[in-house]
Structure 1
Amino acid sequence: MRAGTPIFDVAGDITDLLDPAKSIRSGPSLVSDGEWIWRVDSIHYLENYAVEIPAEFLEHVRGLNYQPSGGVDVADPRFDAAIATYF
């Protein structure tokens, strides 16, 4: 997930929702592999807590052999729509 392409950067730290003593740098920033979009803080939660990952996403990642395709077209209007759902 860290190897995805940054598509929307948000400066600043946010508080970890599960451990308020921790902060997450640029947590609301968005990353993509060209098909899926995820927030940077989701990487933190997956690394630090037993959170569930959607089966669809796991199948997608495994199908790419854990390497993002690199085919991110940020001019694609679907990105604008997806980004709007986050904010």
Structure 2
Amino acid sequence: MDSVLAATGSGVHDILSPGHELIGGLSLLTDGQWFWYSDLAHYVERHHVTLDERFIQHARSRNWAPPQLTRAELVGIEEAVFDNEGA
């Protein structure tokens, strides 16, 4: 299971489809090394968006199963990622 680093109440619309239909809520996911938005799977599946080969190799090396991060690990990542938000 992916670890949710941040979630919003914002809806995500498919920017590649003509109708820009709503596809879900926006979340930032991580496995502790890579970050991706929750709508990535939709774009890969529906629009065949190509992923970075380094990301694919990383996921493959983990048997396609990201680790479940602890709360402390997520807090540390959050502090590193969002540290400059208020600056």
Same fold, TM exceeding 0.5?
yes
Q: TM-score, normalised by structure 2?
A: 0.77
In 2: Cα distance, 1:17 partner to 1:56 partner: 25
Equivalent AA in structure 2 for residue 41 of structure 1: D
Equivalent AA in structure 1 for residue 10 of structure 2: G
| 1:1-87 superposed matches below 5 A | 3-21=1-19, 22-27=21-26, 29-71=27-69, 73-76=73-76, 77-80=79-82
Structure 2 unaligned residues grouped into runs of 5+? none
Describe the superposition over 1:21-48 as per-residue Cα deviations: whole angstroms up to 9, x where unpaired.
2212113x10111111100111211121
Q: TM-score, normalised by structure 1?
A: 0.77
Aligned residues: 79
Identical pairs, percent: 25
Structure 1 unaligned residues grouped into runs of 5+? none
Is the deviation greater in 15-24 or in 59-68? 15-24
4+ aligned runs moved over 6 Å, structure 1: none
More strand by share: 2
